[in-house]
A = this chain, B = another copy of it.
Amino acid sequence: MSVDANKMYGAVEAGGTKFVCAVGAGKEIIELCRVPTTSPEETFDKVIQFFQSHRHNLCGLGVASFGPVDLNPESKAYGFITSTPKPGWAQTDLLGTLRRELGLPLAFDTDVNGSAVGEAAYGAAQNLQDFIYITVGTGIGGGVITNSHLVHGLVHTELGHIFLPKHPLDSYIGHCPYHGDKCFEGLACGPAVSERWGIEASDLSTEHKAWEIQAWYLGAALSSIICAYSPQRIILGGGVMDVPGLLEKVHKQTLAHLNGYVKHPDIQENINNYVVKPGLGEHAGVIGALELIRRKLESQGSSV
């Protein structure tokens, strides 16, 4: 696909560690910049600066953000990052700031919903009606697509906070400020691995038993997710999943936890193709954000 300079979009994947900003169309990114997430003011300044230099080429801007966020267009806080525990970021008007400074049509969703939309359009979930995108990194979250549509519901999903049983040999108190050692994120996000073993997760040997326990939790979560949604595929992204061998351990633990209860050849006979890494790699979120705004403008019949 070649990029038509008249149909270019901007995209922001707003994360707790960095904001990834891009200009592109479809799955093609023609320019990309990473802005460290510092204070909202400083971060927004750099993001706006990036897009202002491309302003005249852009039809609109897609924003996929860490959360919790307010996705209700009727709400006064629409487009805000709301009750995040991230210092300085609670009740931040992300979308309003971008609208005021850039004056572009905007689309807005959670980071993981953005990634799910990207994977559906160009990645590992093409032609699937029901799948889950999960990221396991600094936090854990999931984008849920059922019957080919994103699930938003009352607020938005918070898949990192489903509860899990405790591994029988794990005495770690958990990382979640809300749920301690009861929830998926509290037990299995990157910082939980680091805290459990008293060493940066990235410094743990790939042979360390940490990864067996991590795979046990991820397998338990995936077994729950299979029971909850009956997806056609699960995509596992995020930095933690880059650990060599971890995905294969997760395949085994998912089947072990399910224990044959949900029976389907796609699961039992083809787990390597059922639980997969993102087809778009680390660009799932930002390509998804491009797709969010493209779809919104096309559904509105805008002249893009």
Chain A interface residues toward B at CB < 8 A? 68, 82-83, 129-130, 144, 146-147, 149, 151-166, 178-179, 181-183, 220-221, 223-232, 257-264, 266-267
Distance of A165 Cα from B165 Cα, bound (Å): 4
Distance of A220 Cα from B180 Cα, bound (Å): 13
Asked, given contacts A162-B224, A223-B163, whether A153 binds B232 with beta carbons under 8 Å apart, the answer is: yes
| CB contact between A146 and one of B147, B163, B165, B221 (< 8 Å): that residue | B147
B163 touching A262, Cβ below 8 Å: no
| CB contact between A166 and one of B166, B179, B226, B228 (< 8 Å): that residue | B166
B228 touching A228, Cβ below 8 Å: yes
Distance of A295 Cα from B40 Cα, bound (Å): 50
Main secondary structure of the interface of A (DSSP, over half): loop
Residues of B within 8 A of A144 (CB): 146, 228-229
B166 touching A164, Cβ below 8 Å: no
Quick one: which of A165, A182, A220, A225 has the most chain B CB within 10 A? Answer: A165
Distance of A228 Cα from B130 Cα, bound (Å): 14
Residues of B within 8 A of A232 (CB): 153-154
A230 touching B264, Cβ below 8 Å: no
A162 touching B161, Cβ below 8 Å: no
Would you mind naming 26 contact pairs between A and B with Cβ atoms under 8 Å apart? A82-B263, A83-B261, A129-B153, A130-B154, A146-B149, A147-B147, A152-B230, A153-B231, A153-B232, A154-B266, A155-B262, A156-B230, A157-B228, A157-B229, A158-B227, A158-B262, A161-B261, A162-B228, A163-B164, A163-B165, A163-B224, A165-B181, A166-B166, A178-B260, A225-B228, A228-B228
How many whole Å from A286's CB to the nearest CB in chain B? 24
How many whole Å from A78's CB to the nearest CB in chain B? 14
B264 touching A155, Cβ below 8 Å: yes
By beta carbon, the residue of chain B nearest A232 is B154
By beta carbon, the residue of chain B nearest A178 is B261
B260 touching A228, Cβ below 8 Å: no
By beta carbon, the residue of chain B nearest A229 is B153
| CB contact between A154 and one of B149, B154, B166, B230 (< 8 Å): that residue | B230
Distance of A149 Cα from B129 Cα, bound (Å): 13
Distance of A155 Cα from B257 Cα, bound (Å): 18
How many whole Å from A99's CB to the nearest CB in chain B? 24
Distance of A221 Cα from B154 Cα, bound (Å): 18
Distance of A235 Cα from B232 Cα, bound (Å): 26
Distance of A164 Cα from B160 Cα, bound (Å): 14
